[in-house]
Structure 1
Amino acid sequence: MSDSLSVVIFQGTESEFWPAVMQIRKTVFVDEQQIDISLEFDDIEVEAYHLIVLDNGRPAGVCRFFKTEEGYKMGRFAVLKEFRGQGIGNALIQASLSEIEDIAEDGSKIYLHAQTYVTKFYEEEGFNIEGDEFMEDGIPHVLMVQTI
């Protein structure tokens, strides 16, 4: 991770960074990818762990994870256009995996629904595709999994 990048992790929506998380997700998913805003924010927000990468203090990318019956689900990876290709996604994945490893039991499953066009990115981070492509919010996805 570059010296100019820092990662903030918080649980729930009571952080000073929550408005920036919402804005980044709205910009990437609602404005760019045309996902209905009613599908973007859900009841899980209050229990999820949220991560935001700051580039020299400027919010650049976000994601979240939460515990489910199956393991830990990661998602809502979003990087603002002007910050793409600068390692923000890698910083989010690595910080998420590190945090999950700190709180999860050995052998826990970590999974995500990856947009099909970015599966290589997640494979490089140790995830494997399981099953067939499916549609989520009108966008092709695949289930990707790894075990810690």
Structure 2
Amino acid sequence: MIEIKVKTFQELTTQQLYDILQLRSEVFVVEQDCVYQDIDGKDQKALHVIGFKDQKIVAYTRLFKPGDYFELASIGRVIVSQAQRQYKYGYDIMNASIEAVKTHYNKTEIKISAQCYLKRFYGNLGFKEVGDEYLEDGIPHIGMIYKK
């Protein structure tokens, strides 16, 4: 079981920000062997959805209101630490993120840029594919939309 908190950039402690950036680098840069600019100047606008287990950050997403990333509200940087994936925390963090978009932005339509190998995972959460596959940072992605 993970404890999930939603915070603005200003509410993050320095240690939490460090741990989030470390986890993102660990998975998106090292594990996926993808060199890209993770620190993109957008974290300050985002809401940060953080999954804690034993006071350690093990899952994370960031949310944007409509117009800050895509035309629709969006969820990005979806991540669960490799050692914790067996517990299906991806569903917990995504369900909490969908709820946070509804609560904080009063929106029920959400766009994501999904890595193609995760289409089924996002489909299980109610996201539907839109458009064609494309390369983002050398990794195949597809646009997906959630509507409730």
Q: TM-score, normalised by structure 1?
A: 0.89
- State the partner residue of 1:87: 88
- Secondary structure in structure 2 of the residue aligned to 1:84: helix
Which deviations, in whole Å up to 9, do the C-alpha atoms of 1:40-73 show, x marking residues without a partner?
A: 1111110101111111222111111111332211
Which deviations, in whole Å up to 9, do the C-alpha atoms of 1:84-106 show, x marking residues without a partner?
A: 12121111101111111113345
- State the partner residue of 2:4: 7
1:13/1:45 contact within 8 Å kept: no
- Secondary structure in structure 2 of the residue aligned to 1:77: strand
**Count of residues paired in the alignment:** 143
1:105–1:52 CA distance, 2 compared to 1 (3 A): closer
- State the partner residue of 1:118: 118
2:51 paired with 1:53: yes
Which deviations, in whole Å up to 9, do the C-alpha atoms of 1:7-37 show, x marking residues without a partner?
A: 1211115512211111100100111112224
CA RMSD of aligned residues (A): 1.5
> Percent identity of the aligned residues?
29
C-alpha separation between the residues in 2 aligned to 1:8 and 1:104? Answer: 16
Q: Which runs of 4+ in 1 moved over 6 A?
A: none
- Secondary structure in structure 2 of the residue aligned to 1:135: strand
What are the within-5 Å matches in structure 2 for residues 31-110 of structure 1? Answer: 31-37=30-36, 39-69=37-67, 70-105=71-106, 108-110=108-110
Name the amino acid aligned to 2:20. V
Q: TM-score, normalised by structure 2?
A: 0.89
2:140 paired with 1:143: no
1:104–1:13 CA distance, 2 compared to 1 (3 A): closer
- State the partner residue of 1:23: 22
C-alpha separation between the residues in 2 aligned to 1:116 and 1:136? Answer: 11
Stretches of structure 1 that go unaligned for 5 or more consecutive residues are none
Stretches of structure 2 that go unaligned for 5 or more consecutive residues are none
